[in-house]
Amino acid sequence: MTDANAQPLYDTFARADLRFERGEGVWLTTENGERYLDFAAGIAVNSLGYSHPHLVETLKTQAEKLWHLSNIYEIPGQKRLGQRLVDNTFADKVFFTNSGAEALECAIKTARRYHYVNGQPERFHIITFEGAFHGRTLATIAAGGQEKYLEGFGPKVSGFDQVPFGDEKALKAAIGPQTAAILIEPIQGEGGVRPVPDEDLRRLRKICDENGLLLILDEVQSGVGRTGKFFAYEWSGITPDIMAVAKGIGGGFPLGACLATAEAAKGMTAGVHGTTYGGNPLAMAVGNAVLDVILADGFFEHVQQVALFMKQGLASISDRYPDVIAEVRGRGLLMGIKSVVPNTALVQALRDEHLLTVGAGDNVIRLLPPLVVTEEEAREALSRIEAAAERLSVSARQKSA
């Protein structure tokens, strides 16, 4: 430990020099008492903001009873949370995990097993899309297909065929006798807040049906109220066969789930898949508490209203500062600003205004506030975005002068 820069953690994260100590609602406070408006929300995780009284109370109560139990026993809360997900989605069956990547692993295995038990074990290929992000395990980096995440980690897990985003011809050409499923995010998050048009999702459903393929949706980022419906697929009127969920469903507690129809999950029989921590009593208690709030009357309408307010405000700022903001896109509170200046500069300028956002591909920054954000807080965020745009615009003009 003689190196002055040595520190004990892997150097895998380029961390901002910010130390937060506590949070309340949409606000984070640093050790020095500085307050930040958080429109990143742990990357769409803190769906109910910080210190939500119902979540805190639920976690405390459960902590005094049981934390962990093996899945060799019945686990308190698991059937209830599973049933609520089944009652409110397309799904008949649920498998709980601790993260998004694990939910995707379960989804991929479920699709492969489906064809295996149908007597077609050769059908294990899954078609994915350029710009996708499905996690950082060996299978999910293969599914995401991004060279920067695959490089140096040995042979790419086989069975993932990638096609350009929105290219139906290429998609159809990629379908063969080995194809098991199509995997897609209804809105690419990391890829730069790129929504799949509803019409395209409907066509994907049709292509799956015509070719005996399973449709797997990755709603790890777009789900659990983020777009103003429980899940983003609802906007299109179609349903998937399998869906990966995580992030917002735990409200900050590590929790994910793989949802499937009974038919799609028919290969997932006793012993073929498992998890130690997935579905533990603490996670189940918190997940149920998140649903208490999200599924209450009027919650999705609230998300839609604040989102509309934000969208109009952002459109107006983008009109006035076209040299900073090129485009505003997304759905609900999964919002993207395509930046003209480097997106890292925009994230930094917003951070200087004490507004937290997060970058994405395609030179986009994401705005992902807690879903409980009020219109007043949204107005505050807009005024900070405006201030940052004004500063960046002035310096852009000075540079070109």
Least gap, CB of 101 to ligand PLP (angstroms): 3
62 is in an annotated binding site: no
- Residue placing its CB nearer to ligand PLP in the complex, 161 or 190: 190
CA–CA separation, 234 vs 183, rounded Å?
Answer: 17
- Residue placing its CB nearer to ligand PLP in the complex, 220 or 317: 220
List of residues 6+ apart from 114 with CB closer than 8 A: 180, 214, 263, 264, 265, 266, 267
278 is in an annotated binding site: no
Catalytic residue among 90, 96, 129, 133: 133
101 is in an annotated binding site: yes
Strand-pairing partners, residue 260, are: 93, 242
Neighbouring CB atoms inside 10 A of 109's CB total 20
- Residue placing its CB nearer to ligand PLP in the complex, 41 or 340: 41
Least gap, CB of 132 to ligand PLP (angstroms): 8
CA–CA separation, 330 vs 324, rounded Å?
Answer: 18
Least gap, CB of 103 to ligand PLP (angstroms): 8
- Residue placing its CB nearer to ligand PLP in the complex, 62 or 99: 99
239 is in an annotated binding site: no
Q: Is 218 a catalytic residue?
A: yes
Q: Is there a contact between 99 and 135 (Cβ–Cβ < 8 Å)?
A: yes
- Residue placing its CB nearer to ligand PLP in the complex, 212 or 274: 274
Q: Is 39 a catalytic residue?
A: no
Least gap, CB of 190 to ligand PLP (angstroms): 6
Least gap, CB of 98 to ligand PLP (angstroms): 8
Least gap, CB of 128 to ligand PLP (angstroms): 11
CA–CA separation, 109 vs 159, rounded Å?
Answer: 12
Catalytic residue among 218, 229, 230, 231: 218
DSSP string, 84-123: HHHHTSS-SEEEEESSHHHHHHHHHHHHHHHHHHTT-TT-
Residue 380, burial from CB neighbour count under 10 angstroms (0-12, 13-18, 19+): middle
- Residue placing its CB nearer to ligand PLP in the complex, 334 or 382: 334
Q: Is there a contact between 251 and 47 (Cβ–Cβ < 8 Å)?
A: yes
> Would you tell me which residues interact with ligand PLP (CB under 6 A)?
99-101, 104, 133-135, 185, 189-190, 218, 220-221, 246-247
CA–CA separation, 51 vs 36, rounded Å?
Answer: 15
- Residue placing its CB nearer to ligand PLP in the complex, 200 or 390: 200
Residue 207: CA atoms inside 13 Å, Cβ hemisphere, count? 23
Whose CA is closest to 164, among 173, 177, 156, 155? 173
Least gap, CB of 39 to ligand PLP (angstroms): 16
136 is in an annotated binding site: yes
Neighbouring CB atoms inside 10 A of 211's CB total 12
Q: Is there a contact between 361 and 352 (Cβ–Cβ < 8 Å)?
A: no
103 is in an annotated binding site: no
269 is in an annotated binding site: no
List of residues 6+ apart from 399 with CB closer than 8 A: none
Q: Which residue is nearest to ligand PLP (CB)?
A: 100
Q: Is 160 a catalytic residue?
A: no
Strand-pairing partners, residue 335, are: 330, 367
250 is in an annotated binding site: no
Neighbouring CB atoms inside 10 A of 287's CB total 29
Annotated binding site for pyridoxal 5'-phosphate: 100-101, 133, 218-221, 276
Annotated binding site: 100-101, 133, 136, 218-221, 275-276
Annotated binding site for N(2)-acetyl-L-ornithine: 136, 275
Catalytic annotation, residues: 133, 218, 247
